[in-house]
Structure 1
């Protein structure tokens, strides 16, 4: 700590000294530890930013890896195709679907029962009652009154039954007809009783069926099947297909693993890994001014690099599994960067799909092992980055508390010091007058003046 001097010239000059400047000089001297604390805080803040950035990169890598390790992720995605899209449309293949080839022939499509009434001349109203029954279900009777005694009113009343029957009105020059379409499937045949229905001209209204309800009849992989709907979602687990027309020969339907999604997911994994590797290597260097990066030589940095490097070298010799990244076309290059050979990956997926999938998804294999490693190194829970950040936070709090406590003590001391120096200054400034008084007393006693 530097020595602070007080300049007041001759003791008998009466000039005294600059109290404010002296106090400022002393307090600056006593605040010297804060300079070191500020330097430490600046370094810790820079480390915080670097740790946060590494945490973000590691989180992105974990997310990319999760797409490959999750059982409903990239390896579960399916795609499909049919040989005759005019007869069959493959509308969905979920993660539950199994890859494979299927044959399909369609003998009949499912139909809905369609019924229409005789023409009701324009301007006439309806009277009586109308009874509707779907298959073996309960019959529903509509009694015509002033609220529904038009063709449109009866159609609305039928729709309001919410029985699955669609009622519309078709109009031409002869009048309006009530048209009904029921649900598809043989069990949904419409039964209509309009015997009590007449128009205001005294004419009976008759009903005519133009299409009977029927089930779809098709053969899947040699097994004859039926369906009340042309949309089939229960025949193959996870697969939905639409029957569009009858066939004269078998249609092939292929359900395959979506290798394009897997390739994209692996490319994202490689990119995320390289971003983290670049960031880790960057912390081992110096910046453009020659100063070391915030985490240069940090043990946490070394731990992360060591564990990730070990995870990359991880391999299994179990039957049916890929043994290392190289078999997937992923190689480790200079600086720990990964590169992906799309051709080699395509070959691996086509020749050993189960092995590639197991490599990422089986317990104890590469994907699950790397997941465990990243969880132990990340910025959440007890991850290495999280603990390292918590350590910085604790140190920053200690430094901030040290400064607060010192400032509290210095505030009291500054007040006391200012008071004492003011008193001393008053004494110095009063010396000439005190000496003058002594001279006067001496002269009065002796008759001489002091020189």
Structure 2
């Protein structure tokens, strides 16, 4: 600890000295021991920020690659098209669908059975009598069921496999009953009434008539006759769902084409290239000094060298798949800074001409895709052995130790400050009391000798 000089003027002035500033001067040297610890903490936290960003970007890269290496990923997807979307619309084509062409003739659409009542003036008119629907009798004398609105609610609450609703237009209101099952199997039995009438308008009777007959759709798929209770057909072509919208003209059947999702595959590969370039950009940023010569937080760090070696070294790893042996055949080139470029035309061409080899290049055991995925797992944030994860754990351990040292040192300084303040306050009080003590001595001397030095020249 350095020497601290006290400046308080003449010892007999009674001014003393500034205790607080003196304590601060004395402790300055001790507090300086924390400066390198604080600097090291700041450097570690800057590294944490970079490591976190690297971890996020590596995770994005892993996700983009997984879409290409997953057997149920984008390579398993199928696309479909219809030659006449007014007649037939493709809803989906799953991974179980097989690429190919199909001919479909739609002869009849499916219909859902319905019944409708005769019209009355208002849905709130009071009803009398009963109505029998699917063998269930509904009595309008029961509270809440004596209007069309109330009757519809009672029917729906009974859960008898139909849906009741009130339809109102300029001519009045009527009750619609629709089967809960489409196609011929959902055909409603005739609805009967017993003295059902509108008492509000003088007892006019209410009857039901057929709105629509339940029938199955009829179609011919690849010369095979098929029926469907719904216009949404899911089992005519394996893995394909389509919607029937209208009947076909006799001489113009619909052509349905099922193809591999090469457009989506190209998009996924493009996303992989972009994610890869983001990681390489992160690495490149840590290999150079910033503005004003400021070093990047991980400049010279082994983790950066490990990431670069592992990731770039995996670009030409993996076994050959048929005619595809490296990424350049997919239209992927490497720039001088390590980033990638993608030639969309080259990629589209190889996907259209040689999709199976591209799939193997990314998904076979020991392939480029599988090898690269392993490399990413080894350098990412995966516990317990990911390189970035281990670097973060090491930083965290060092930060914990430094924070503990700073806390302990602060406790020592706080104790020292209290002790110094008490001691210096006592010394200060002594200094401030010297003039009064001198006066007392002079008074005693004067009383004994009759001479007071303070009153004589």
Superposition TM-score tier, normalisation by shorter sequence: 0.7 to 0.9
Partner SS, residue 91 of structure 1: strand
Distance change >3 Å, CA 165–CA 386, structure 1 → 2 = closer
Deviates more, 1:196-205 or 1:155-164: 196-205
Partner SS, residue 235 of structure 1: strand
Q: Determine the structure 2 residue equivalent to 1:347.
A: 349
Q: Determine the structure 2 residue equivalent to 1:29.
A: 29
Q: Determine the structure 2 residue equivalent to 1:394.
A: 397
Distance change >3 Å, CA 143–CA 284, structure 1 → 2 = same
Q: Determine the structure 2 residue equivalent to 1:359.
A: 361
Establish whether residue 280 from structure 1 lines up as the match of residue 279 from structure 2.
no
Distance change >3 Å, CA 203–CA 398, structure 1 → 2 = closer
In the TM superposition, residue 130 of structure 1 has moved relative to its aligned partner by: 3.6
Cα deviation, 1:348-402, whole Å, max 9, x if unaligned, reads: 2112223323333444323333233223222342321122122122222222222
Q: Determine the structure 2 residue equivalent to 1:261.
A: 264
Distance change >3 Å, CA 125–CA 194, structure 1 → 2 = farther
Distance 1:378 1:212 in 2: 63
Establish whether residue 4 from structure 1 lines up as the match of residue 3 from structure 2.
yes
Distance change >3 Å, CA 385–CA 115, structure 1 → 2 = closer
Q: Determine the structure 1 residue equivalent to 2:454.
A: none
Partner SS, residue 334 of structure 1: coil
Distance change >3 Å, CA 414–CA 124, structure 1 → 2 = closer
Partner SS, residue 234 of structure 1: strand
Distance change >3 Å, CA 360–CA 13, structure 1 → 2 = same
Distance 1:269 1:351 in 2: 21
Q: Determine the structure 2 residue equivalent to 1:231.
A: 232
CA RMSD of aligned residues (A): 4.3
Given that residues 17 and 428 in structure 2 are in contact (C-alpha distance below 8 angstroms), is that contact kept between their aligned partners in structure 1? no
Distance change >3 Å, CA 118–CA 364, structure 1 → 2 = same
Given that residues 54 and 279 in structure 2 are in contact (C-alpha distance below 8 angstroms), is that contact kept between their aligned partners in structure 1? yes
In the TM superposition, residue 403 of structure 1 has moved relative to its aligned partner by: 2.7
Distance 1:165 1:413 in 2: 85
Given that residues 70 and 361 in structure 1 are in contact (C-alpha distance below 8 angstroms), is that contact kept between their aligned partners in structure 2? yes
Cα deviation, 1:425-449, whole Å, max 9, x if unaligned, reads: 979x99xx9xx9xxx9xxxxxxxxx
In the TM superposition, residue 342 of structure 1 has moved relative to its aligned partner by: 0.5
Equivalent residues in 2 for 1:3-402, closer than 5 Å? 3-4=2-3, 24-115=24-115, 129-133=130-134, 139-145=135-141, 148=145, 158-162=155-159, 163-164=161-162, 166=164, 180-182=177-179, 183-192=181-190, 194=192, 196-197=194-195, 208-209=209-210, 211-247=212-248, 248=250, 249-319=252-322, 322-382=324-384, 383-402=386-405
Distance change >3 Å, CA 287–CA 180, structure 1 → 2 = closer
The gaps in structure 2 that reach 5 residues or longer are: 446-457
Distance 2:47 2:369 in 1: 30
Cα deviation, 1:54-104, whole Å, max 9, x if unaligned, reads: 222222222322333344443344332111222212123344444332221
Partner SS, residue 33 of structure 2: helix
Q: Determine the structure 2 residue equivalent to 1:446.
A: none
Distance 2:174 2:51 in 1: 76
**TM-score, normalisation: structure 2:** 0.77
Distance change >3 Å, CA 40–CA 233, structure 1 → 2 = same
Distance 2:13 2:265 in 1: 88
In the TM superposition, residue 125 of structure 1 has moved relative to its aligned partner by: 8.0
Distance change >3 Å, CA 274–CA 412, structure 1 → 2 = same
How many pairs are equivalent?
426
Distance change >3 Å, CA 416–CA 108, structure 1 → 2 = closer
Distance change >3 Å, CA 315–CA 194, structure 1 → 2 = same
Cα deviation, 1:323-358, whole Å, max 9, x if unaligned, reads: 322122112211110111101111121122233233
Distance change >3 Å, CA 168–CA 18, structure 1 → 2 = closer
The gaps in structure 1 that reach 5 residues or longer are: 134-138, 441-451
Given that residues 321 and 361 in structure 2 are in contact (C-alpha distance below 8 angstroms), is that contact kept between their aligned partners in structure 1? no
